[in-house]
A and B are shown apart, each in its own frame.
Chain A
Amino acid sequence: MSAAAPALAAPLSRAHKVATTLILAALVALPLSGPHQFILHMLSLVAISSIVALGLQLLLGFSGQLSIGQAAFYGIGAYASGLFATKLGMPFPAAFVLAGLVAALTSLLMVPITRLTGAYLAVATLGFSILVYLLIKNEEWLTGGSFGLMGIPRPSLFGFVLTKPGHAYLLCVAVAAIVYFALLRLEHSRFGRAINAIRQNEDAARASGLPVTLLKSQCFVIAAFVAGLGGSLYAHQVRYLAPTDFTFWKSVEILIMVVIGGMGSLFGAVLGAAVVVLLPELLREVGDYRMLVFGAILMAVMLFGESGIAGFLSQCLKFFSKR
């Protein structure tokens, strides 16, 4: 029996804290080195995608619910924010938060679906995602339909418009960091252990008294809220929305981010987002074959162990720390 008081969770390792701080510092300092506008734009997109991927990680990696419909909430958040800003003239912070809330509220429609398991849940989320896409495409009076929603203003904080790409980039990184640390907290809390228990053995979780449906629904709502926030940032970043941005393929892309990065790893979700967004740009020739490669990678990761890049990195770390 250990002399120290028993602990339910190992505190985050020193290495982890140091690494995270360094990376964050590097990201924040980046604009100072005067990089090209395009690079800042791409990195902003990475940050935005990370946010949505982090939400899916909570849903899939932690609570084990395969949702291939996150694009729906991403889209709802994007359009909500865009509409609040253009049609109602709302300032960005309000539009941003409301977008998240609207997406979260919509996800309450999914609560009955959380009763489903496995592939049935996946298909139901897929169906929901398609419905949302159809709504966005057909309701021209609201969303502009296939013509899209134009003229979305840049993000602004308390009257100060973020015209410089560097500022918008910092905003995206800031939001991504907040979401990351919030989810990290949740992961290492009782809530996190509870939803992990549900993933590992739902029957046992139920028999131990966990309110399974409630917990699963909460995961959906959080993931939707987060996706909505990401959508809002996206809307004010690219400033033009079209229904084609939010099809099933977007949901699949988000899934790929989580899987490539490593299921169950928050850091992996961020890495996965970086890979999925940046790789096609870095390998111009791959461009057309992008999704083909991703499909193959998805299968390969499933075949050869689901720890993804994050898992690979942590294995390397363990290997090097033993020497």
Chain B
Amino acid sequence: MSEVLLEAVALSRRFGGLLAVDSVDLSVHAGSIHGLIGPNGAGKTTLLNLIAAALPVSAGALRFRGEDITRWSPARRARAGIRRTFQNLKLFPEMTALQNAAIGLHAGTRCGIFAALARPPRQRREEREIAAAACRALEFVGLAAQQDAVAATLPYGHRRLLEIARAIVAQPALLLLDEPAAGLNQTEAASLSGLIRRIRERGTTLVLVEHHMDVVMTVCDTITVLNYGRKLAQGTPLEIQQSPEVVEAYLGHGDELPAEGARAVA
């Protein structure tokens, strides 16, 4: 059993009177692809935001590689190796695809303002390395041809891929994907599944929140199901599909645990 990379202990998030995430325990093992599913409003995205530090924790603790990161800022977590994509795409619209991807590497660099002004050889070398790494990331997700395209002009599917490229360019230990398949058609979704597997092969652990059951069931090793902010079930895809509680949680809300091809309405 591989080490536990990320551990959430009794994690809770309260919005006024509403407990969006209720005392959730989560263990993400290194090298795994961990899915987070649940009916609408179950708290999946909130949980993801807690892990990414987009929201502060109301109670509980978060540990990464054994270290307590509960109070860490988003930037600090990013520098430590936790990267994320956003459900509603947050790209840098005026920059090219290459520049977007390159931002993901900024945190690891050392040169600041004075180096920017003086341009010593070390700075110039770093720039070349960053450009090369960003280029490789774009190739990895399949956007090599769009390298110099301005992000705002890219079609939706490519923009999704660009977000992923930016998130993986620094070879993060943990990648959080927030509904990466949203808005993708069948072919694109299948392609995404392949991409996710290749990212894992490179050594990144993944946690993904997703409604697209095809993607979830084919790609994930473990799935955690949330309902009303609580952890309902956890297991392999097969176990989850056969779990009566999970089926009821979905059916009971008028959603179905869809057959292949369908996608739960967001």
Contact = CB atoms under 8 A, between A and B. Distances in A.
Interface residues of A, number: 32
A55 to B, nearest CB: 14
A205 interface: yes
The DSSP consensus for interface residues of chain A is: helix
B116 A186 contact: yes
Given A182-B117, A191-B112, A2 B147 contact: yes
B119 interface: yes
B103 A205 contact: yes
Contacts of A194: 103, 106
Contacts of A196: 92, 94-95
B141 interface: no
A193 B86 contact: no
Contacts, number: 120
A109 B221 CA distance: 51
- Chain B interface size, as a band, is 35 or more
The DSSP consensus for interface residues of chain B is: helix
Interface in A1-33: 1-2, 5-9
A28 to B, nearest CB: 23
A1 B106 contact: no
Interface string B112-124: 1100110100010
A182 B114 CA distance: 10
Contacts of B3: none
Nearest to A264: B94
Contact of A5 (B52, B99, B108, B131): B131
For the complex of A and B, 3 pairs with smallest distance between CB atoms: A209-B107, A209-B78, A189-B116
21 contacts: A1-B145, A1-B147, A5-B132, A6-B131, A6-B132, A8-B99, A8-B130, A189-B117, A190-B126, A193-B106, A194-B103, A197-B95, A197-B103, A200-B92, A201-B90, A203-B90, A206-B73, A206-B78, A208-B104, A208-B167, A210-B107
